[in-house]
Amino acid sequence: MANNNTNAAAYWSANLRLIIVSLVIWATVSYGFGILLRPLLAGISVGGTDLGFWFAQQGSILTFIALIFFYAWRMNQLDKEFGVDEE
């Protein structure tokens, strides 16, 4: 019983760590690059507009989609590692 609780706590801890890292990456790209660092990125041109605007409009969305696929892939690995996979 104690081993099962320890295993569940480790699984939940790994899941929370993955969620926090993903949210920090997404916030950095969307809020940091799109808003806070936009004046610094204004001199770099991407697709006819500055890089800060690109991050605010498309970069944060593309990063979010990439994070969704990364999260699903990594959670499948964690599920197999902790023996809670669907297979």
Residue 72 has a pLDDT of 96
What would the pLDDT profile of 6-18 be if each residue is shown by its tens digit?
888 999 999 999 9
Could you report the per-residue pLDDT of 44-59, keeping only the tens digit for each? 888 888 888 888 888 8
Q: Where are the domains of the chain?
A: 2-82
Look at residue 2 in the predicted model and tell me its pLDDT. Answer: 61
Bridge partners of 50? Answer: 45
pLDDT surpassing 60 at residue 1: no
Task: Decide: residue 5, CB within 10 A, 0-12 exposed, 13-18 middle, 19+ buried.
Answer: exposed
| C-alpha dist (Å) from residue 6 to 2, 20, 75, 76, 81 | 6, 21, 18, 20, 14
| pLDDT tens digits along 9-42 | 999 999 999 999 999 999 998 888 888 888 888 8
